[in-house]
Structure 1
Amino acid sequence: MEYQYEYFMSDALALPKDAWKPFHNAGPVLSYPKNKLLYNQGDTAFCFYYIVSGRIKTFISSAEGNERLLTIYRRGDILGEAAFFDERPRVSSAQMMADTKVVSIDRPALERCMQQFPALAFSLLRYLSATVRMLSTHLDATSFLPAEKRIVRLLLNMDSGGNHTVTCTHEELAYALGLSRVTVSRILSSLAKQGMIVLGYRNIQLLNRKKLENLIADLMENS
């Protein structure tokens, strides 16, 4: 089976870390083992999900059996909300990347949460709008930009909250951008040698956003 990894998202939406905290107690916590499917492409959506712990990937499948990764979600994220709100069949499948716990949010649960926490409505609107913007930006990046610019641009987007630390692995970046892990590691090592980033265990610290932004501008001029 061919995998065409494309899109890594959740750190880049710049919502407060506790934006979805009201969902934590909205229903019973459900536990799933690694590799278990949460839902399938084409399913009717009666709920969306809040991740208590673990990681989940969403992907689309072609008639030929190929899969393309869309998004990786982590603790504190929500997923499956698009099909839930527009009442259309799910356009992707979701699968556990690790042992994972989630809370299922149906309409009564959402209504209770929004009555208790009115700010949730604005957070959801902001989240949906930011997701559309990111999809457009990502399409442009994966279609036209050189590898180094795509990596730097994704790191900057993932640090839009301003804490200067991006939590991900080289492999996840490679999957997200459709690059080889060797290419990603080579470019990250080069950026580290230039003093722009520090590579850690499952994280990348951005030392100088201005230099990284200038690097993108220089690459644009030379591409």
Structure 2
Amino acid sequence: MLELRYTWEPFLDYGQKLELKKNTVIYLQGESGKGFYYLSKGGVKILFLSDQGNERIINYVPVGMLLGEHGVHKENYLTTAVTTSPSVLYYFSDEDLSKVCADHPNAATIFTHSLIYKFRILAEIISLLDSGIEHQMAYYLLKLVHENGNISIDQTSFAQYIGTSRITVNKTFQKWKQQGLIEITGRKIQILDMKKMSEIGKVM
């Protein structure tokens, strides 16, 4: 959701700046929440452990977005967050959130919209876990466009995103290229037929 990006930036002075190394665990699924975070620089992947014990990447957080909103008021985190590169984040405790909202009433609306968006996306992703690979690939391509405005990801990372092999991803991409659905240049993937891709990736 592009309109949510950077909307929390005016409130960074209320948070605690963190400089984290690559592969640092920010929070763990199931642990008691200790607040939420804002990604200012770097990269973070979000992982989800299913009831069957399968862990997979379900999201890459765009710079300028919040993460871990479900950990406010000591609620358990619903996912795990890990840095994918050296990153700068801002940590906000429950008390920090209260101060921000008291001084800036519009902050409550921004936070609520971000939280609702994350719950909706998580519900959609869980519903997709048992669907076909093409369905999942189309959904995630569309999600990356909606959140970032473009798609820049290598096939190995995208395969981890989907929970499949790079060979399967490559075969599907080649098929879609032949059908005129996408165009690939290096790491960049451009959707040429948004209508068709939306039909393939539609959440039922």
**Normalization by structure 1: what TM-score?**
0.74
Q: Which residue of 2 aligns with 1:152?
A: 138
Q: Which residue of 1 aligns with 2:6?
A: 18
Give a deviation string over 1:51-73, Cα, whole Å, max 9, x none.
111112333569xx964434332
* Offset of residue 115 of structure 1: 3.6
Give a deviation string over 1:148-167, Cα, whole Å, max 9, x none.
2221222223323694x223
CA, structure 1 residues 115+216, in 2 after alignment: closer, same or farther (shift >3 Å)?
Answer: closer
Is the Cα contact below 8 Å between 2:57 and 2:162 reproduced in 1? no
CA distance in structure 2 between the partners assigned to 1:151 and 1:54 by the alignment: 24
Number of residue-to-residue matches in the alignment = 203
Q: Aligned ranges for residues 46-61 of structure 1 at < 5 Å?
A: 46-59=34-47
% identity of equivalent residues: 25
Unmatched tracts of structure 2, length 5 or more:
none
Q: Which residue of 2 aligns with 1:83?
A: 71
Higher relative contact order (CA 8 A, sep 6+): 1
CA distance in structure 1 between the partners assigned to 2:77 and 2:198 by the alignment: 36
1:134 pairs with 2:121: yes
* Offset of residue 44 of structure 1: 3.4
The 10-residue stretch of structure 1 (193-202 or 98-107) with the greater mean CA deviation from structure 2: 193-202
* Offset of residue 188 of structure 1: 1.5
Is the Cα contact below 8 Å between 1:49 and 1:102 reproduced in 2? yes
- Code of the residue aligned with 1:124 in structure 2: it is F
Q: Which residue of 2 aligns with 1:175?
A: 160
* Offset of residue 81 of structure 1: 1.7
* Offset of residue 209 of structure 1: 0.7
Q: Find runs of 4+ consecutive structure 1 residues off by over 4 angstroms.
A: 214-217
The 10-residue stretch of structure 1 (45-54 or 189-198) with the greater mean CA deviation from structure 2: 189-198
Q: Which residue of 2 aligns with 1:5?
A: none
Is the Cα contact below 8 Å between 1:24 and 1:52 reproduced in 2? no
Unmatched tracts of structure 1, length 5 or more:
1-12
Secondary structure (helix, strand or coil) at the match of 2:164 reads coil
Q: Which residue of 2 aligns with 1:38?
A: 26
**Normalization by structure 2: what TM-score?**
0.80
CA distance in structure 1 between the partners assigned to 2:43 and 2:168 by the alignment: 25
CA, structure 1 residues 48+16, in 2 after alignment: closer, same or farther (shift >3 Å)?
Answer: closer
RMSD after superposition: 3.1
Q: Which residue of 2 aligns with 1:10?
A: none
CA, structure 1 residues 92+194, in 2 after alignment: closer, same or farther (shift >3 Å)?
Answer: closer
